A = this chain, B = another copy of it.
């Protein structure tokens, strides 16, 4: 090692010390936070930012920049200190950590220009990193993706889901660093500092694994170089570290997770210890190496989307909305190169296989790993793609924590869940999506769409694609007839009034498969001389408040909702929410118990959402009319 190297290493050492000092000071000022989790990774982050990553620190969003994901989001103060050190903002701002007026939140969120995806739910960063690495391939960029994860969070299964996908995709532009500080929140991790056991796991999953002392900057530099030169597979750097490193009284001690140093004597003692660790370098302790600029190929601006052809169905044609979803997605993929699809080994059921056939280079198979699928979609979306991850609606429950974080990050992830409700029939309750509307509707940034026919499916898919933020499209297994003309539009927040007259006695609000039951009920009621209004609420969230409130008022103050979903959290609640302040009465039909196997029609009837139940409910409303 020549003199320059010695200087570089000493300089990086001083930067790491500064990052530690800033992490301690900001968390003590905030009165909460995780300084010990910052201290273990200080050399890793200093080396990455100032000796390995290529990026423009003044333009964190620059497409050619290498990406850094802090999966162990509780080490946020370290991340913030690194960007301050890189010159993006003033170091003094670090002391606003966790204040309500500051974007330097307790865990990183995309309110900050240098955070692509919110972290703080452990085990998600690697999944997101896989998406970013896939995106580099999609746009033909050389940028590399670095993800810093904790050893504790490696217990999350999502880490291993994405480890498999990354190896399968041969993502040599992805480098994961594990900060192996051997301590979780409440106790030692399962593997402690058994570095070889950890390496065996990663190698078992097909990764190039390097074991290194995470406080040895020269070794870290060599490891990153090895990672860069490794082709055909991703690299994991297993960095053996000490939690609380640099502060003698917290180093390697349990009980210091998520605990700042107390203001006053304790903080001063810690800071004094850290201060003593600076070494002399030419230029002084604030000297910083020049950050390596992005040097990858300039990436062409993404091709503007071409207009998509309108749907091409005929009225009455029998098409499952899940199949119309696949057809529409393949079409959209042709018109817009940003559109990508992700599967979890059910592409032949969700019909995302149609996209795969048309655009194999933008189709990402995650095998049976829904967390990895949604996480990769988050990473792709954060870098400009418009990803459509799809599986059975019920299995999106597997990825709810990822969906939650995608909603927090307001990412352009367009989720699709097929096989909604009891109408799937014989496969039984484990395969029925019956809580998907509830879980999606709860997320404030989420748009929820539930088309009933092929035309509306194609239309809402395009609406979802170009709506800013996350969206969910719910589709049905059985075939349903096309009821809308190809020219019909389905804006987000709208609904379709399918039947109406001045003498309507009640409003039936349906969506998806129950639209057909409502129309059958309408016919039956009509034969008995009873008029009702029928609304297709294809936009469950936002729901068409104006039209539904007006309909409720115009039909005697009665609304009946009908949904192939559990009664809690779905369409009935969505309608109740908007008419609640009006005193309009809402009765709801939905699934009220655990369903079972059977034929679709049998189940719709047995679980209370068929046309005959709607007729009966309308008759019941009639009997009640006038009662308080």
- Interface set of A (CB-CB < 8 Å, partner B): 30-33, 73, 98-100, 102, 105-107, 109, 111, 118-123, 152-153, 155-161, 164, 168, 184-187, 189-190, 197, 200-206, 343, 345-349, 353, 365-369, 371-372, 394-395, 397-398, 400-401, 403-405, 407-408, 410, 425-431, 434-435, 438-439, 441-445, 541, 553, 557, 566-570, 572-574, 576-577, 580-588, 591-594, 596-599, 602-603, 606, 624, 628
Contacts and interface: CB of A to CB of B under 8 A. Distances in A.
Nearest to A425: B32
A186 B347 contact: yes
Nearest to A190: B168
Q: Which 7 residue pairs across A and B have the least CB separation, nearest first?
A: A157-B157, A120-B430, A100-B598, A438-B442, A580-B586, A576-B576, A204-B204
B185 A345 contact: yes
A584 B32 CA distance: 44
B107 A184 contact: no
Contacts of A572: 577, 580
A76 B22 CA distance: 58
A580 B576 contact: yes
A345 B190 CA distance: 11
Contact of A372 (B120, B157, B366, B410): B157
Contacts of A429: 105, 107, 109, 118, 408
Contacts of A156: 157, 161, 368-369, 398
Contacts of A397: 400-401, 403-404
Contacts of A190: 164, 168, 367
A161 B157 contact: yes
Given A398-B401, A588-B577, A184 B442 contact: no
Contact of A577 (B189, B366, B573): B573
A182 to B, nearest CB: 12
A583 to B, nearest CB: 5
A202 B371 CA distance: 21
Nearest to A448: B568
Contacts of A105: 428-429, 596-597
Nearest to A168: B190
Contacts of A371: 157
Contacts of A346: 185-186
Contacts of A585: 580-583
Contacts of A541: 568
Nearest to A574: B568
30 contacts: A32-B425, A32-B427, A99-B597, A100-B598, A106-B597, A120-B427, A120-B431, A152-B345, A157-B157, A157-B158, A184-B368, A185-B345, A186-B345, A186-B353, A187-B365, A189-B367, A201-B201, A202-B204, A400-B401, A410-B594, A438-B438, A438-B441, A439-B442, A442-B568, A444-B567, A444-B592, A569-B573, A572-B580, A577-B588, A583-B584
Nearest to A587: B581
A100 B568 contact: no
Nearest to A184: B345
Contacts of A591: 444
A136 to B, nearest CB: 21
Contacts of A597: 98-100, 102, 105-106
A442 B32 contact: no
Contact of A109 (B102, B398, B573, B596): B596
Given A204-B197, A597-B105, A152 B368 contact: yes
Nearest to A592: B444
Contact of A602 (B100, B201, B582): B100
A353 B596 CA distance: 39
A432 to B, nearest CB: 9
A431 B367 CA distance: 29
B367 A184 contact: yes
Contacts of A161: 155-157
Contact of A599 (B100, B372, B624): B100
Nearest to A565: B442
